[in-house]
């Protein structure tokens, strides 16, 4: 028997008996292929061995050898090397703090990691075959390895690592062990630097985004990202490597005065990778990381927002079209500040077009003799309401507005009241309107988890026009840069952006239901009998004391939930909560919301970023507010009254600080960019008998020159308490 035959027979036998490691096997004569059992029926291993010999004999002219056979199954010495490596790493993890130095023998053993046939199987968390559900990666163990490398950055050879990368990237990417290799390659922080950015990191990321490039299902790519986002320590390491490598690469280019083109391929690749990673996180994570952790401020500063604006208006230089088009579809790399700047500039351009059209229309009808005040009012979106009929007047006005006129700058007035809207009147209007529309007495929304507003599932006979108008009003607030005193769950924005809604979305929206449903899933996975719960395909709801059973399928009250259909039951239950029960109301809201926006522009934002546009930053950095404060009319940073004020402010609870923010800016929420983007002016006023005053249009806090700190604190607290408004803190 020739040496080649001696190598081929075991491989053919392996693929006939155990199958391959392919994600989607394409070899019909391999047990892992979906049609194998239809064509082959071996009574015992001898029959399989006989067929393996036949396959070997016809191999030179009719090969049926599957390329996905795992080498470690055929070569026992590879498993020995894996065991040596694992034992050495585990020993070092146990003793690292007490013995920080690695012996020469241990260092030699560690270099076994550079064998591309050993590397995919290091530190397996279980001995089951790798599969779409099992990458056998223990987050804690890999986290310990990451920590070990931080203490011993030279424990692995850089040259060996580069050889490993080269060999892994040459391999068949349609295998589970290749996916595991890619995840593990991205934790070796010591080997990522400006000099390896293009030839190492970008090549690995390109391989990831190219997985199953010829397949619509992208199975391999989905496996990579779905596992990565469920490994918190590994995910943190991968994000740190991507962000730090990108930042250091940019600084290195600048320091050496080398040309840096932010529209080159390597930046398009890393932007695509970060986008796919963020999208997977929102799809499968119970607690997604904030989108800002995927963005890079340094890179965002290299790209010109004007190019995005030109792209949206179809005026971009054709030479940049491919790059900007890629960035528009992969915006995770850009900061919220950058995207908001693009959004504002696009809206300003649309407002300018509408303003010009309105002015020309008025001039054509009335000549050039109109007073400036009338021209200003005629070029704005004018909304006049009565305070005691604010909902009815808003609905009537919004229905009369032409869609194109919604792009004009909003100017609000209260009937019978003087004053020009420089921003403060609009903020007060939105505040009062939200207070009424979201009141429990009105019944449009319910408060969930004491944190979020969600559509009332009960049918109170509220007409869709109310929800449609509210959608337009929320969009108008975003369009005009006004933060609203409400907060929706992230689920709302996933639905607005038409993202896939999954079971995990319930954990934010209703964690108790999510935990109950998860227990049912766990029962099935443990082999327990789900039918013992006596469930059927219905949802039970409380409609003002009347208990109703709503079928999830036709005749659902007579369909028992069993181990065979429990996953369908969970799917339908989640679908009913997040969609079916509020479908008419949500669609009306979304219709009103989208009247103002170009879909592509708004799709730049992630769901949690839309939340910030509507409701402001949920976390407030009070030190950033203080750093930007200006002083006027005699006050300076070292003025006695100013020092007293900050001493008082520092003692405030977070709730009282929010009231101060509401008092001075018209909103208790931080806008896009956080409190660092709020420029507050503390203005000296001379009558110490009066309370502090504010001018929310201009974020001015009028602070009288009080003679004592105690008097100042008393009057500030009175002022803030008397103006307490509506809103979730």
**Portion of the chain with pLDDT greater than 90, in percent:** 63
- Residues 114-127, mean pLDDT to the nearest whole number: 95
> In this predicted model, which residue has the larger pLDDT, 525 or 377?
525
Amino acid 297: pLDDT: 96
Strand partners for 682 = 631, 701
Instruction: State the pTM of this model.
Output: 0.86
Long-range CB pairs of 397-403 (<8 Å, 24+ gap) are: 398/469, 398/472, 398/473, 398/592, 399/465, 399/469, 403/595
Which regions of the chain carry the CATH code 3.90.1750.10? 357-481
Model pLDDT, residue 375: 41
Residue 499 has a pLDDT of 93
Helices (H), 75-133: 76-95, 104-110
Between CA 194 and CA 201 the distance in angstroms is: 10
Structure tokens at 205: 């990321």
Over the stretch 132-141, which tens digit does the pLDDT of each residue have? 999 999 999 9
Mean pLDDT, residues 667-691: 86
Angle made by CA atoms 124, 130, 134, in degrees to the nearest 5: 80
pLDDT of 658 reads 87
Residue 726 clears pLDDT 50, i.e. is over it: no
Question: β-strand 546-551 against 630-632: which pairing, if any?
Answer: unpaired
- Using the structure block, give the residue that is written with the tokens 């279980």: 126
Fold for 503-614, please state it: Hect, E3 ligase catalytic domain (3.30.2160)
- Of the CATH numbers 3.30.1330.10, 3.40.190.80, 3.30.2410.10, 3.40.50.2000, which one belongs to the domain with range 617-722? 3.30.2410.10
Average pLDDT over residues 51-71: 91
pLDDT band at 662 (very low <50, low <70, confident <90, very high): confident
In this prediction, residue 542 carries a pLDDT of 79
Q: What is the DSSP string of 453-465?
A: EEE--S-----HH
More confident residue, 339 or 105: 339
CA nearest neighbour of 291 among 607, 652, 728: 607
Residues 6 or more apart whose CB falls under 8 angstroms from that of 727 comprise 431, 434, 485, 486, 662, 668, 669
What pLDDT, on a 0 to 100 scale, did the predictor assign at position 372?
46
Query: Which residues belong to the active site?
Result: 697
Helix (H) or strand (E) holding 472: helix 464-479
State the pLDDT at residue 728: 32
Residue range 357-481, CATH number = 3.90.1750.10
Confidence at residue 497, expressed as pLDDT on a 0 to 100 scale: 94
pLDDT at 727 over 50: no
Query: 629-640: per-residue pLDDT in tens?
Result: 999 999 999 999
Average pLDDT of span 533-542: 91
More confident residue, 352 or 679: 679
DSSP string, 596-607: S--HHHHTTS-H
- Torsion, CA 351, CA 357, CA 359, CA 362, rounded to 10: -140
CATH 3.30.2160.10 intervals, the chain: 503-614
Residue 543 confidence (pLDDT) above 90: no
Q: What is the mean pLDDT of the chain?
A: 89
Report CA 36 to chain centroid distance, whole Å: 41
pLDDT tens for 296-327 read: 999 999 999 999 999 999 899 999 999 999 99
Q: Give percent above pLDDT 70 in the chain.
A: 93
Gap between the Cα atoms of 131 and 129, Å rounded: 6
- In the predicted structure, residue 724 carries a pLDDT above the cut 60: no
Residue 545 or residue 229, greater confidence:
229
Q: How far is CA 247 from the centre of its chain?
A: 21
pLDDT tens-digit series, residues 28-57: 999 999 999 888 888 889 998 989 999 999
- Per 3-state DSSP, the chain is made up of helix, strand and coil in percentages (nearest 5) of 60, 10, 35
Is it the case that residue 358 has pLDDT exceeding 80?
A: no
Considering 339-343, 363-367, 652-656, the range whose residues carry the highest mean pLDDT is: 339-343
Q: Give the residue with greater pLDDT, 383 vs 408.
A: 383
Q: Please give the pLDDT value at position 328.
A: 95
For the chain, residues classed under CATH 3.30.2410.10 are: 617-722
pLDDT at 367: 54
Per-residue pLDDT band at 722 (split at 50, 70, 90)? confident
| Residue of 150, 233, 137, 133 lying closest to 188 (CA atoms) | 150
Burial class of residue 401 in the structure, from the number of CB atoms within 10 Å of its CB (0-12 exposed, 13-18 middle, 19+ buried): middle
């Amino acid at each position: 028997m020739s040496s080649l035959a001696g190598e081929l027979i075991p491989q053919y036998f392996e693929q006939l008996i155990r199958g391959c490691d392919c994600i989607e096997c394409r070899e019909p004569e391999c047990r892992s292929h979906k049609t194998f059992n239809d064509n082959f029926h071996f009574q015992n291993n001898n029959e399989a061995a006989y067929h393996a010999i036949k396959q070997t004999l016809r191999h030179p002219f009719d090969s049926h050898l599957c390329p996905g056979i795992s080498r470690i199954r055929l070569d026992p010495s590879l498993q020995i090397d894996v065991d040596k490596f694992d034992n050495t790493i585990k020993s070092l993890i146990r003793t690292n703090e007490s013995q920080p130095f690695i012996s020469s023998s241990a260092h030699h053993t560690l270099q076994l990691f550079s064998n591309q046939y050993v590397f995919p199987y290091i530190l397996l968390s279980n001995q089951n075959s790798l599969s779409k559900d099992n990458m056998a990666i223990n987050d804690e163990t890999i986290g310990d390895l990451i920590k070990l490398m931080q203490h011993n950055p030279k424990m692995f050879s850089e040259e060996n690592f580069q050889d490993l990368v080269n060999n892994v990237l040459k391999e068949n990417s349609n295998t589970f062990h290749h996916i595991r290799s890619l995840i593990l390659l991205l934790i070796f922080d010591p080997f990522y630097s400006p000099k390896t950015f293009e030839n190492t990191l970008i090549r690995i990321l390109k391989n990831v985004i190219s997985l199953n490039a010829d397949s619509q299902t992208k199975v391999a790519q989905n496996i990579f990202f779905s596992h990565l986002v469920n490994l918190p320590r590994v995910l943190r390491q991968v994000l740190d490597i991507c962000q730090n490598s990108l930042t250091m690469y940019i600084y290195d280019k600048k320091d050496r005065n080398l040309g840096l083109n932010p529209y080159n391929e390597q930046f398009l690749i890393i932007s695509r990778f970060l986008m796919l990673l963020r999208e997977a996180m929102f799809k499968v994570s119970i607690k997604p990381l904030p989108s800002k952790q995927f963005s890079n401020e340094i890179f965002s500063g290299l790209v010109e927002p004007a190019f995005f604006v030109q792209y949206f208006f179809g005026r971009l230089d054709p030479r940049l079209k491919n790059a900007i088009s890629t960035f528009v579809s992969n915006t995770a790399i850009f900061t919220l500040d950058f995207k908001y700047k693009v959004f504002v500039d696009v809206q300003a351009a649309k407002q300018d077009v509408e303003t010009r059209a309105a002015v020309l229309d008025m001039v054509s009808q009335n000549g050039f003799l109109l007073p400036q005040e009338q021209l200003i009012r005629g070029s704005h979106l004018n909304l006049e309401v009565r305070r005691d009929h604010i909902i009815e007047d808003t609905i009537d006005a919004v229905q009369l507005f032409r869609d194109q006129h919604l792009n004009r700058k909003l100017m609000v007035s209260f009937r019978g009241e003087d004053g020009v809207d420089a921003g403060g009147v609009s903020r007060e209007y939105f505040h009062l309107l939200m207070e009424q529309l979201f009141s429990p007495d009105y019944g449009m929304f319910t408060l969930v988890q004491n944190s979020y507003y969600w559509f009332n599932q009960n049918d109170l006979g509220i007409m869709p026009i109310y929800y449609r108008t509210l959608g337009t009003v929320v969009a108008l607030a975003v369009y005009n840069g006004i933060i609203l005193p409400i907060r929706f769950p992230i689920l709302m924005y996933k639905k607005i952006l038409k993202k896939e809604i999954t079971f995990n979305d319930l954990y934010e929206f209703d964690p108790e239901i999510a935990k109950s449903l998860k227990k049912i899933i766990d029962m099935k996975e443990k082999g327990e009998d789900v039918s013992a719960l006596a469930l059927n395909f219905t949802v039970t709801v409380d409609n003002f004391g009347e208990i109703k059973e709503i079928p999830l399928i036709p005749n659902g009250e007579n369909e028992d939930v069993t181990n065979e259909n429990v996953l369908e039951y969970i799917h339908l239950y989640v679908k009913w909560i997040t969609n079916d029960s509020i479908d008419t109301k949500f669609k009306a809201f979304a219709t009103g919301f989208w009247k103002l926006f170009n879909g592509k522009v708004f799709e730049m934002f992630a769901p949690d970023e839309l939340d910030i546009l509507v409701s402001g930053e949920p976390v407030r950095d009070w030190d950033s507010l203080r750093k930007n404060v200006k002083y006027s009319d005699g006050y300076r940073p070292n003025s006695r009254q100013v020092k007293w004020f900050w001493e008082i402010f520092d003692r405030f609870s977070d709730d009282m600080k929010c009231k101060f923010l509401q008092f001075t800016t018209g909103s208790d929420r931080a806008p896009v960019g956080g409190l660092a983007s709020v420029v507050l002016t503390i203005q000296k006023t001379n009558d110490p008998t009066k309370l502090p005053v504010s001018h929310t249009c201009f974020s001015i806090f009028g602070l009288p020159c009080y003679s004592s700190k105690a008097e100042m604190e008393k009057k500030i607290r009175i002022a803030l308490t008397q103006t307490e408004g509506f809103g979730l803190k």
